[in-house]
Amino acid sequence: MTTGERIREKRIESGMSMDELAERMGYRSRTSIYKIEHNITDLPLSKVAEFAKILNTTSAYLMGWKDEEPKPKYDPLEVKLIDPREKKLHENYTVLTEENRNTLFSYSTFLRSQQVLQAPAPDANLKAAHYREDIEVTDEMKKHDDDIMNDDDF
């Protein structure tokens, strides 16, 4: 497998388009990525480390010096995240441009604020407005309150 093929493999594995990778690498268009992946043009050695960082791998793997990609000794995502969707969110985040990371952060903050506004407190025990705990509420009092609530002219 060539360096270009390994770059393509890692790009696809990370869910990144050629356009996204080109933008993150500082290329003008996807054409440069296409040419590198299909071995039409040589990849400057100075760019290998940058590709490795963006594609979450090592330069040695991309260059073919190591046949198997080494697994990290400690992966905090494996230890701390319970839901596989959390891991996928993190993987997606790592390949976003800085602008898209900021957009994602703003949107997630907005969603969280909406959720807080919509969700009742877990121990909330909602009661009717006429319900009182400090006095004994009689049936007559409840009827009076209901009559007021049902009066369209009130």
Task: Please report, for the chain, the start and end positions of each structural domain, with discontinuous segments joined by +.
Answer: 3-63, 76-118
The Cα-based distances of 75 to 32, 35, 52, 55, 95 in angstroms read 32, 33, 17, 16, 17
Q: Is the pTM of this model over 0.75?
A: no
pLDDT band at residue 122 using 50, 70 and 90 as cut-offs: low
Domain 3-63 homologous superfamily, CATH = lambda repressor-like DNA-binding domains (1.10.260.40)
Q: Over the stretch 23-55, which tens digit does the pLDDT of each residue have?
A: 999 898 899 999 999 999 888 888 898 998 888
**What is d(CA 154, CA 150) in angstroms, rounded to the nearest whole number?**
9
